[in-house]
Amino acid sequence: MNDTMFTAEHDEMRKVIRKFVATELAPYSADWEEGGYPSEVFRRMGELDFLGLAYPEEYGGSGGDYLYSVLLAEEMVNSGSGGLNMGLGVHTDMVLPTILKFGTEEQKQQYVRQGLAGQIIGCLGITEPNAGSDVQNIRTWAKRDGNDYIINGSKLYITNGVRADFCLLVTKTETGRSSKGVTLFLVDKKLPGFTVSRKLKKLGMHASDTAELAFDNVRVPVSAVLGEVGKGFYHLMWELQVERLFAAVGGVAGAQRAYDLAYAYAKERQAFGHTVNQFQVIRHKFADMATQIEAGRQLAYSAVRKYMLGGYPIKEITMAKLFVAQMANRVVDEALQIHGGAGYMDEYEVSRIWRDTRLSRVGAGTDEIMKEIIAKELGLV
């Protein structure tokens, strides 16, 4: 991960975060697979100023550049808990950046400042039973009523949905499938009519809470609108690029973690009088894995550089997300294979990584959606 875009200051912070992850998170990751991680982790990281590394000081951040978010995502994979990493990423790299960019000063002071301190946790309400990437097809409805809006509908597969204190909610405020009718709201969970319908069971990411949310005549003030009424689709398209860039960076780090675990295992595991890493077939597996990881890293870092220059590199971010998601699944599967039967056991971290990594080809946009976006950016559609 020694890349020229990281400075000595970045490297020092990386060391601090790495020590925190190793001492305060990793020892508990196996237990969290059963009962979920405690929300106090957010507060603790807020106390250490880890949540706001790349946020302005006026909202409780440290004023650093986006690379601090990158190195946080990279180091968090060493926690051994994909569920924690995902829940944290939703909060710090999906919900709060959108409020920072489109929110009013009052919203920033209320949600961003408290969110960076770990005092409140956010979730992102997009997906519904009949709508995911097709945002224009959402049915959650917000109807104007004087100085308020009344919201009705439901959301599905919502990360942090159980523990969240508020939801960045995607609604329709106009009839029809037009993107002009989408509006974002900041909705506090304590409001009457906002309920968690059920906590969902998943293939992976067991430490994370995923929920179905219901909105039954939830009344919110006009001041709860995030950004402009009817412009939510465009605001959300910006958020999705940030989300996908985070997914690409985290995906590379996750693949590297699986590689490192497999390499350590192969140096210790004996077979036919030799350690496993001495067999040519295994050495070649590592050569292929390392090459794929490096390709993914450079693709992701290239997108990071363009994003930091103030651009909106949709094509590059989408390519990075697509490639890394597929690459990470291949690499992690090989890492499990190198572990042999041990890799299929819950006591080995690689088995958790294998389960968790499969989500990367679905979350933040499926492979198929990524390819369609890339095709459009190439002028093929």
Q: How many CB atoms lie within 10 A of CB 123?
A: 28
Which tokens is 322 given? 């697509």
The verdict on whether 40 is a catalytic residue reads: no
Tell which residue, 231, 289, 348, has the closest CA to residue 281. 289
Q: How do the residues of the chain divide into helix, strand and coil, expressed in percent and rounded to 5?
A: 55, 15, 25
Which 3 state secondary structure label does DSSP give 217?
A: strand
**DSSP for residue 191:** S
Radius of gyration of the chain (CA): 21
**Close Cβ partners of 272 (under 8 Å, ≥ 6 residues apart):** none
What residues pair up with 183 in beta bridges, in sequence order?
Answer: 171
| Catalytic residue selected from 33, 75, 212, 243 | 243
Which residue in this structure is represented by tokens 């088995």?
351
Report DSSP letters for 115-139, one per residue: HHTTSS-EEEE--BTTBSS-GGG--
100-107: long-range contacts, CB 8 A cutoff, minimum separation 24: 100/55, 100/56, 100/59, 101/235, 101/238, 102/184, 102/226, 102/227, 102/235, 103/186, 103/226, 103/227, 104/223, 106/223, 107/186, 107/223, 107/226
Query: In this structure, is the dihedral angle defined by the CA atoms of residues 340, 345, 351 and 355, taken in order, positive or negative?
Result: positive
Q: What span, in angstroms and rounded, lies between the C-alpha atoms of 365 and 375?
A: 15
Q: What span, in angstroms and rounded, lies between the C-alpha atoms of 370 and 355?
A: 22
Query: In this structure, is the dihedral angle defined by the CA atoms of residues 62, 64, 70 and 72, taken in order, positive or negative?
Result: negative
Query: In this structure, is the dihedral angle defined by the CA atoms of residues 279, 284, 287 and 290, taken in order, positive or negative?
Result: negative
Query: In this structure, is the dihedral angle defined by the CA atoms of residues 294, 259, 18 and 29, taken in order, positive or negative?
Result: positive
Helix (H) or strand (E) holding 153: strand 148-159
Which tokens is 372 given? 């369609």
Catalytic residues: 243
